[in-house]
Chain A
Amino acid sequence: MIKAQGLRKDFKIYRKQPGFVGSLKSLFYRSYETKNAVKPFDVEIERGQMVGLLGPNGAGKTTLMKMFTGIIVPSAGNLLVMGHTPFKRERIFQKRIALVMGQKSQLWWDLPAMDSFQLLRRYYEIEENQFKIRVAELSHLLEVEDILKVHVRKLSLGERMKVELMSCLLHQPEMIFLDEPTIGLDLIAQKNIRDFLIYYHQQNHATIILTSHYMADIEALCSRLILLIGGKKRFDDSIKKFDGILGHNKMVSFSFTNPVSQSVPFISPFNPKWNPKRTKVELSIPEEKLRELSQKILRELPVSDFNTEKMPIERVMKSLLENPHLLKD
């Protein structure tokens, strides 16, 4: 479905010195800097996969998406998406893909969503009947039947995102690119979007490429994860393997009713991290010892509460960004 070899994108950035004097200087001399947004990048993505692109700001995720969708032209390398060269922007290719941008609305601000849909129906040459079925189905799934006739600018962010998503799926794309689809949404809205995407993926077997800052999105949706740091691919495998990068320990935290002032020798091998008041401790426990050790702690210390970590990949991600050397090159 996607095949990239040595894909690269360089941007020329013009550096302007601040202020009026800087502007004057720039009339005569401009210094440019080349930024390698994406360094030689190879990837192969099969049909029906749901792949998460992960990385800090400026890592090149969005640049990669822009190249996959044909918005920008790669500086070098080979890229085929469903057998097409994206930046040639062939109509037949355009009809098979969709791009959802969380940060940017593609709908017409001053029109009800339904009017935008009608326009898209024409652009994508969707049959009237097909269109009606599709609108009914998607609006039911996303629970937006009531807002399709409201002006888009009057919708809440969550509602708008749903409508936005809907507009991109009307033409039944085989490949969907989602750039931060849940950005700025509250927890419930995030979950709604996620559930919808899972359902949609099961029903339609579309290939989905997703970028997000929310690990919960990636964890819930993607089976495969590609980590980008500084324009380079640093990890490309299953989420399970990603979890395992820092070893298979579980992070468990215990809270106590009273400060635990004495030292507790039996937990010291598990890298205890106490809070200053010593009413809470976080331990990194190997899976096989989890049961035994927890029981002992519960028995011997005044435990009021305990938690196991909800999202290991968030911790993995944080550690990797702080210590990139943990990854093999």
Chain B
Amino acid sequence: MSKFLEITQLVKTFPTPKGPLTVVRDFDLGLKKGEFITVIGHSGCGKSTVLSMIAGLSDVTGGVIVLAGKEVTNAGPDRGVVFQAPCLLPWFTAFENVMLGIDQVYYTASKLERTQIAEYYLSLVGLADSMHKRPGELSQGMRQRCGIARAFALSPKMLLLDEPFGMLDSLTKFELQDVLLNLWQRDQKTALMVTHDVDEALYLSDRVVMMTDGPEATVGDILEVKFPRPRTRRQLLEDPEYYRLREYLIHFLNERSHHRPGKNGQPALAHA
């Protein structure tokens, strides 16, 4: 079956004063269209490096990334990136930040239509009343809402989320996860998210990819998450299955993440 995003034998090596350091080696992953995948692992394991290679912001040392039948070679707005720090330009308002990208990819559209797109997505993420404020006047959570709106507004082929909620407190995180899930369901986007939060991974994704620790990090295991959608946090918290999966992931992070899978060890697929 042809995948929407296909990552084959991905390698990333950084030059260091002590010689080259292989951060990621033999990373294979395929995403179906419309699938929500999270990559989970300890900080510094190279999961963000993988994401930034898909985004085209970091060069691929070896292997191939193919998105919708085309090899990824550079950065572009067909992949909407949501960074950990929202990376809004502080001299623009939330609206102008979103418009910067819209003006690029919808350059054939009229000014009115472009404005409508920005207003639509900013309202959807809950910034209807504060879209003309600068990032300095917005709370952390509101800035990240704007970051999400900016990514969705460009109607990208897929979404890349690099620990987007890592800097938020756990309750603001809940709100934003719902904002993200809501938009994702509405737009049917293929999404890849990097996180180290087990609960976040289970709440959002269809599959959780567990990465081993770096250097030479790779896929350690993949967990299918088959909770029906739309999901509610309340329903998940009461599901005994949720705690089983949660434990499986925590166990991986605590024990198994320190070892690469064996030579012939294809990552075992855990069935939920």
A and B are partners in one complex rather than unrelated chains: no
Residues in A lying within 8 Å of B, measured CB to CB: none
